[in-house]
Structure 1
């Protein structure tokens, strides 16, 4: 840059600085400008008010909309905002929604989930309850319409009962009422559905078609086990109770018989709808969304009712625990939703095990002690069978050397002849080879009955004993990443397995089992470990106690039984004349079978 350019830049800078200071407005001029700007803002605001001050046409618009909705069946009830009404007593907190007039959610106030949260059976929009109204030209589902409640909050804890009406209006003189009633105590919620003045509006108005569905929340620790015991039960008016089966999704249509009630049953809690006048037709569905980790199963019931002479349909809900005694108090044989097994197992549990359990429960002991007492009583009752089984196995053990001699003489290549010689020995010695098996077989139904009794026993839910925090589910002492679907080891199941292995070892010593029979007994406990690992700790605890008491019984019997005396008695029996020995039916059948087998082999040769 030359001298003239530098001089020009300097002069420009001086002019700019001089202009800033010389032309800067004074304080008085700034205040005057601020006043002008404020005046402009006030003028703009006034202009905006003038522009928005137009004739109010909103009322005309609402009136026009109302006139349009009035032409649609239940059109006025198709718009609104959802509100909730609380109805509660000592056991239940029922939330009713004006949208559909339905039961929105049910909370059991005296129970908690496995993780100590409020126990809510169902809630939300996945749960529906609505009448399907056949109006000419259109089917209307009341679940999409808005009802008007008679009150906003009702607590009946200190009253005998209370009623609440949800009204769906077609016109001031035409409407459908849902009348809910709740007593001060108990798990029942009454519901009477009544139609007034709609006989000429609804086609086939003598029948109500109801859609009820619920997505049942997870309440227990083990989702797999809870899903296994969650299903639909239903009872017809011929007193037949049926179910869908524990594990499968299914759909059933029942039109040949009336139903009295339908139960959406979970493992330990149920939602049951009772129709006092019967359900004419039913379409029931169970489905499982395995991706949903919050809900156990989805259940649906499409039901058809015939209205009574006064136009009403009286219904009743049961929202409560699957405790046998509580369900029995409700009537209608609701206690049959508790699965106590099939065939004879059900009768063993219902008429033998359950009464003894209820008797022991009266002492208010810990449930671990009640199971202990139940096991002791059962073992005492079965002790004669245990004694006979031990005695028979002891006789077979004493005969083992003579059986080995026969085997060496006859050889293993002629099994028919070998069995004949064995039978002659049994006959001479007065020994029944099945004497040790029959008592065990007679005990098996009781053992299997307990397999269904303890998992269905509501009383064990949340009850602790020793290290087991909940006797109704597994006690995971070790947890790990899933391997073939197993992610834990139950300590009580492990102890039960070890005790079974020890029992098998001593049982083999008593019976003198050899070869394959000796090792088959060791495979079964391993299968039990895999199978029963997810089962309730209370069940494994019972099996463990049963093994321990069997050890004790066998030890005491061994003290009372002298092998030398048994051997002497066998030898004495062998000396008796052949004709004086009474042949058992089993021996006769075995001998006849062997003769036939020999004849067949002779013909083949």
Structure 2
């Protein structure tokens, strides 16, 4: 290419670029053209939809006459219809699709935001029999039943052929939370060749409480083998468990304060339970159950059961029998025995007076403190003795030094034996009280009676009081601050300060006690306000006890007694087993140190 040709082509490119720039459409015109094209496309799609919709509907396969006249032909297709069973306690909505309970409302109870308590609802609830008929699995959840209502009894029937049918009956008695449920199989022994059928129940339990996170921590499927203690699946993760260790007496879909329980008259042969933790708003967990039932090849086979839909109130569940009340978490051994046989009876007794539950917790705390007062007194006296001995212990430490801790401990033990002091005397009474303190940690979060009950600024004693709402989440604290938890923390810090004054704690021990209350602030901030209220009251009553004991105890008298003990012959003092073991341990440590020095 010569220079003239190249120059001509270059000039033509400049002219074309300039024409595109100066004579091309503006950005506004381009945008308008895009909007016009998009509008035309939408019109074409709408027209195409109108044209093809009838064709698609027409293309939908219809149930042929052979299928309709065959097994379960009249139950394969139908129109969904509902029937309501209702009494003073429950409102059940039954559907002919599957012949099942579609939804359950527990009357007289409200969710935290004031709506009716609906345990489960909608198509997410599946319930039916799985049977092998003609080599194929038939699930009655997919069949349409014919409903007949007589009073508070509803019959759901799906015809197989001729006089062969499946019938469910639901009977709701007045003022009851129980629904009598019967499965009647008539003539199906001619078509079911297996010796068992399966009962399948799947449902999504809905959120009822203020804290969905805490509600999930108390929700799990429970089950009980015959002659064994009830057990449950994981509360923290998805899990599926095969139940093959024995016959199953009952199983339940438990939430924090409500349960759906199925109790067969004849125990299930075996089964499988599953749980899935859900993250969708308003939903807690999804439960599934497949229970194997024996099929005896009888012309008429009947399976009788009972549903329980209602609260997890301990005495209500206990009245159901079968140890269903044990699904209410009362803590580990021995805490569950303290809660069940001590705390709960006293609480129910106080409840009989009709007082506000805040007042009941106050009286309960006072009674507990009075019962524990002898231990509190012994603990105070023991700590006072150690405080009075501290100057003498400091003298010993100055003489021995810190280089030989074993020798220092031996000298301390000699002093303890001379004055008759047990260094653990202040700890043992506190340890004996600890199970009662821990028992309430399980008692209040699972106590249905506190649900919805208010006291002072606390609207619901069964959940946290978000006195301050942040609008955002702070690590370790959460999105709120509970005023009762703050008061409990402050009172614990004050208690720690005065306790250090009594015991004469120094060094690291003096400051360790201040760390735990701060930790508990983060842990208990989302726990029920009733629990924090109890801990706050316990601290305040402890202050009062120590004030009274301090006025009753004369430190000078204790000091004189300790000095008098020094003058008594050591042989007359009986050595405790603890002191004997401690002496042996100290001697072994001293010998080890001496041997180490020789080896060096």
TM-score category by the smaller chain? 0.7 to 0.9
CA–CA separation in structure 2 for the residues paired with 1:354 and 1:337: 15
CA–CA separation in structure 2 for the residues paired with 1:235 and 1:467: 41
- CA deviation profile, 1:300-322 (whole Å, cap 9, x unmatched): 11111125775111111100000
- CA deviation profile, 1:443-500 (whole Å, cap 9, x unmatched): 1111111000000000000000000000000001111111226100000000000000
Q: CA deviation at 1:369?
A: 0.4
CA–CA separation in structure 2 for the residues paired with 1:350 and 1:86: 38
Q: Among 549, 553, 556, which residue is 2:541 paired with?
A: 549
2:156 partner SS: strand
Q: CA deviation at 1:378?
A: 0.2
CA–CA separation in structure 1 for the residues paired with 2:479 and 2:347: 33
CA–CA separation in structure 2 for the residues paired with 1:142 and 1:98: 11
CA–CA separation in structure 2 for the residues paired with 1:109 and 1:171: 40
Alignment partner of 1:266 is 2:255: yes
Taking structure 2 as the reference length, what is the TM-score of the superposition? 0.87
CA–CA separation in structure 2 for the residues paired with 1:278 and 1:92: 26
Alignment partner of 1:599 is 2:591: yes
Q: Among 214, 219, 223, which residue is 2:212 paired with?
A: 223
CA–CA separation in structure 2 for the residues paired with 1:429 and 1:250: 60
The answer for the alignment partner of 2:288 in structure 1 is 300
Q: CA deviation at 1:67?
A: 3.3
Matching of residues 11-26 of structure 1 within 5 Å: none
CA–CA separation in structure 2 for the residues paired with 1:244 and 1:401: 57
CA–CA separation in structure 2 for the residues paired with 1:215 and 1:103: 13
CA–CA separation in structure 1 for the residues paired with 2:73 and 2:595: 91
The answer for the alignment partner of 2:568 in structure 1 is 576
- CA deviation profile, 1:157-212 (whole Å, cap 9, x unmatched): xxxxx3211001112401000011110111101111010011111221x4220110
The answer for the alignment partner of 2:245 in structure 1 is 256
Alignment partner of 1:482 is 2:473: yes
The answer for the alignment partner of 1:183 in structure 2 is 173
CA–CA separation in structure 2 for the residues paired with 1:467 and 1:401: 48
CA–CA separation in structure 2 for the residues paired with 1:381 and 1:109: 40
Q: CA deviation at 1:601?
A: 1.5
Matching of residues 488-499 of structure 1 within 5 Å: 488-499=480-491
The answer for the alignment partner of 1:37 in structure 2 is none
Matching of residues 243-392 of structure 1 within 5 Å: 243-290=232-279, 292-307=280-295, 310-392=300-382
Q: CA deviation at 1:240?
A: 1.7
The answer as to whether partners of 1:99 and 1:144 remain within 8 angstroms in 2 is yes
- CA deviation profile, 1:415-465 (whole Å, cap 9, x unmatched): 100000000000001000000000001111111110000000000000000
The answer as to whether partners of 1:166 and 1:178 remain within 8 angstroms in 2 is yes
1:150 partner SS: strand
1:215 partner SS: strand
Q: CA deviation at 1:569?
A: 0.2
Tell me how many residue pairs correspond in the alignment.
533
Structure 2: stretches of 5+ with no match in the other structure? 1-60
Q: CA deviation at 1:327?
A: 0.8
The answer for the alignment partner of 2:577 in structure 1 is 585
CA–CA separation in structure 2 for the residues paired with 1:293 and 1:276: 37
The answer for the alignment partner of 2:551 in structure 1 is 559
Cα distance change of structure 1 residues 416 and 127 upon mapping to structure 2, 3 Å threshold: same
Q: CA deviation at 1:243?
A: 1.3
Q: Among 149, 153, 164, which residue is 2:154 paired with?
A: 164
The answer as to whether partners of 1:306 and 1:313 remain within 8 angstroms in 2 is no
Q: Among 86, 89, 94, which residue is 1:88 paired with?
A: 86
The answer for the alignment partner of 1:67 in structure 2 is 66
The answer as to whether partners of 1:229 and 1:247 remain within 8 angstroms in 2 is no
CA–CA separation in structure 2 for the residues paired with 1:276 and 1:537: 41
Aligned Cα root-mean-square deviation (Å): 1.4
Taking structure 1 as the reference length, what is the TM-score of the superposition? 0.86
The answer as to whether partners of 1:66 and 1:76 remain within 8 angstroms in 2 is no
The answer as to whether partners of 1:492 and 1:541 remain within 8 angstroms in 2 is yes
Runs ≥4 residues deviating over 6 A: none
Cα distance change of structure 1 residues 241 and 68 upon mapping to structure 2, 3 Å threshold: closer
The answer for the alignment partner of 1:195 in structure 2 is 185
Matching of residues 417-566 of structure 1 within 5 Å: 417-480=407-470, 481-484=472-475, 486-566=478-558
Larger radius of gyration: 1
1:279 partner SS: coil
